[in-house]
Amino acid sequence: MSFYSNLHSKIISFDQIESKRKDLEGKRIVFTNGCFDILHPGHVTYLAQARDLGDLLWIGVNSDTSVRRLKGESRPINSCEDRMLVLAGLSSVDFVSAFTEDTPLEILKKVKPSVHSKGGDYQVETLPEYQILKEMGADIQILPFVLGKSTTKILEKAKSPS
């Protein structure tokens, strides 16, 4: 299999999640989610750390309409398809799927992770998905935030004159 076709095999449609999940029975699945609009070193570091928490890393990516609702009409910068392809190119990432809601509740019901990971700018009890993860018995891990690395900072820098 070529690297290119392997890249596309990591992108799992929402409708294919349950089937793929059955193939992974017994694996410790780590799940995280986000917009990942402009991939930066903070994302890459965080995703590598998340991958180390289990056997594989599955990322839920907010759809374009979801990103617009969460971040405003000027976002996303990159399309959902492009964001998923870039994430699939990372060695730490095993699977990527898009979801249309603002929170990952429905995709979590399908992926059924052993571990749910979020960056250090979140708190466990305030996660919208906290209750469903608790019911699933999933471990919730908050990983250190990489200071100074954010999409917002990149966009601010791009807009400011040199």
| Domain boundary assignment for the chain | 3-155
Q: Hey, is 32 helix, strand or coil?
A: strand
153 pLDDT higher than 80: no
- 87 within 8 A of 46, measured Cβ to Cβ: no
How many whole angstroms from its chain centre is CA 104?
A: 10
Q: Indicate the residue type of 145.
A: F
pLDDT of residue 59: 98
Here the tokens at position 65 are 């309409």
Helices (H), the chain: 3-9, 17-23, 41-51, 64-71, 80-88, 105-111, 130-136, 151-159
CATH class of 3-155: alpha beta
Instruction: Give residue-wise pLDDT tens across range 96-106.
Output: 999 999 999 99
